[in-house]
Structure 1
Amino acid sequence: MTGGTGDDMADQRATIRTFVAKHIGGAEFADEDDLFATGYVNSLFAVQIVMFTERTFGLAVVGPDLDIANFSSVDRIDTFVTKALNR
């Protein structure tokens, strides 16, 4: 998805949103909601979202990338993936 089109970016966000939705038990959420602060997910989800990100987008999440802030909302995950794919 490096240098992707607007459609690719929308697909990326939709993929992330679908994954998150599967893990929050049907709760309503906005893309900017801090998923950990809302209590929708637990610490196990942090591991799952990192693994999902690596597997789905072909990224290696290591070192400073492992900051929980990168994975706290759909918006932040999307931003992290976009930046990582464009390195």
Structure 2
Amino acid sequence: MTTEQHTEHVNAESIEKALLSFLEAKTKTSVAPAQELFSSGLVSSMFAMELVVHLEKEYGISIVGTDLRLDNFRTVQTMTELVLRLRDTAETVDGA
């Protein structure tokens, strides 16, 4: 299954589940959707770049400019919202 095929059927639940699996595999720790990732010390600011690359590659989005704020990466929930918003924006632009 290619990334393009994978991203056609995404929703908040599937993004959240995939992000939790990704983070748990990387950190070897159980992660909750609303858990503060950076302030809890679970992940570092250096890991934020890995998160950006992962989200861009996995969901076919570009995270640039103001979307690169740490606030968008604090929890799995905020990352899920970011992915959905960027995908909706991309679909609107592509469909226009």
**Larger helix share, 1 or 2:** 2
CA separation in 2, counterparts of 1:21 and 1:41? Answer: 11
Q: TM (normalized to structure 2)?
A: 0.77
CA separation in 2, counterparts of 1:84 and 1:43? Answer: 22
The answer on whether the counterparts of 1:23 and 1:41 sit within 8 Å (CA) in structure 2 is no
Q: How do 1:1-87 and structure 2 match up within 5 A?
A: 8-26=11-29, 28-87=30-89
Q: How many residues align?
A: 83
Q: TM (normalized to structure 1)?
A: 0.84
CA separation in 1, counterparts of 2:80 and 2:52? Answer: 12
Displaced runs of 4+ in structure 1, greater than 2 A? Answer: none
Unpaired runs of at least 5, structure 1 = none
Per-residue CA deviation, residues 22-66 of structure 1 (Å, 9 max, x unaligned), is: 12222x331111100000111221010000010000011110010
| RMSD of Structure 2 on Structure 1 (CA) | 1.7
**Which of structures 1 and 2 has the larger relative contact order (alpha carbons within 8 angstroms, sep 6+)?**
1
The answer on whether the counterparts of 2:20 and 2:31 sit within 8 Å (CA) in structure 1 is no
Q: Report the alpha carbon displacement of residue 70 of structure 1 after superposing the two structures with TM.
A: 0.4
SS at match of 2:11: helix
CA separation in 1, counterparts of 2:64 and 2:75? Answer: 19
